[in-house]
Amino acid sequence: MLCLAFALGGNAQPVKMHGRLKVVGTQLMDEHNRPYALRGMSLGWSCWWPRFYTAGTVDWLYADWNCSVIRAAMAVTPRGGYEDDPAGSKKLVETVVDAAIQSGIYVIIDWHGEHLKAEEAIPFFREMAAKYSKYPNVIYEVFNEPAEETWPEVKAYAEAVIKVIREKDPNNLILVGSPRWDQELQLPAADPIKGYSNLMYTMHFYAGTHKQWLRDRTDAAIRSGLPVFISESGGHGAHR
């Protein structure tokens, strides 16, 4: 189980040290077959905080906070997001991704939407995978937080997006959400996506709301064999 938090250690470039990441069982491993935990920062919605989607922000988070990963949360439906301005939204994400590659850290391309829209996500991820497949830095998060959708709906969406990513990028890590804001991990644990490797399932934990019940549910999912990745966490309250 992996957390986005502050990194420890020196300033050696993480990607040079650990290379392309892979999932073995429930554990994320580096290219040397050693367990590896990513630690870093998730940026806010790109439509509301575009000022942070810069090379300077990425460089500072790497050099000052020692982050090994940055998450670029590309807003989809709010005003100013991808549906309003596809080119501008992609440019923000690409700026962060390119800066992460330059700094030698990992980067999550996050489809930060509110509703499942495969017809929009598929061409976006096809383009991102075609552009960045050769870089071991890149991780794809196919949907931020499914809310009202069922697991069969989320699973079908994820399978459609994963298919086009894997056509262009057969190796890099892909993250999949679960219903009720990434809290219903027991559902993919009972019915995981099959036929693809290097998948992990996201859980979002906010200490002011989620408490022991979500930790217990997550531990149970991992014990059942589900690889879990925490792509958002914080100290305040959030979705129940």
Catalytic residue among 141, 149, 184, 232: 232
The predicted structure's pLDDT at residue 154: 95
Q: How many residues does the chain have?
A: 240
Bridge partner residues of 28 (DSSP): 23
Farthest CA pair distance, the chain: 43
Please state, in angstroms and rounded to a whole number, the distance separating the CA atoms of residues 120 and 124.
7
The predicted structure's pLDDT at residue 210: 66
Look at residues 117, 115, 109 and name the one whose alpha carbon lies nearest to residue 89: 109
The predicted structure's pLDDT at residue 96: 98
Any residues with CB less than 8 A from the CB of 182 and at least 6 apart, and which?
145, 146, 202, 203, 204, 231, 232
The predicted structure's pLDDT at residue 31: 96
Any residues with CB less than 8 A from the CB of 185 and at least 6 apart, and which?
178, 201, 203, 217, 218, 221, 226, 228
The predicted structure's pLDDT at residue 7: 36
**Catalytic site includes residue 114:** no
Reading phi first (left if > 0) and then psi (alpha if -120 to 50, else beta), residue 182 is in: left
Question: Which residues, given as ranges, of the chain have pLDDT below 50?
Answer: 1-10
The predicted structure's pLDDT at residue 45: 87
Catalytic residue among 145, 149, 153, 159: 145
Any residues with CB less than 8 A from the CB of 236 and at least 6 apart, and which?
206, 207, 208
Bridge partner residues of 70 (DSSP): 41, 107
**Catalytic site includes residue 232:** yes
The predicted structure's pLDDT at residue 184: 87
The predicted structure's pLDDT at residue 236: 63
Reported as a single tens digit per residue, the pLDDT across 35-45 is 999 999 999 88
Decide: 142 and 169 in contact? Cβ < 8 Å: no
Please state, in angstroms and rounded to a whole number, the distance separating the CA atoms of residues 73 and 121.
14
Amino acid of residue 29: M
Token output for 46: 């790109």
Query: CATH: 1.25.40.10, 3.40.50.1110, 3.40.50.150, 3.20.20.80. Which one for 14-234?
Result: 3.20.20.80
Question: Could you give the count of Cα atoms lying within 13 Å of 3 in the half-sphere of its Cβ?
Answer: 10
Give SS3 for 111.
Answer: strand
The predicted structure's pLDDT at residue 233: 63
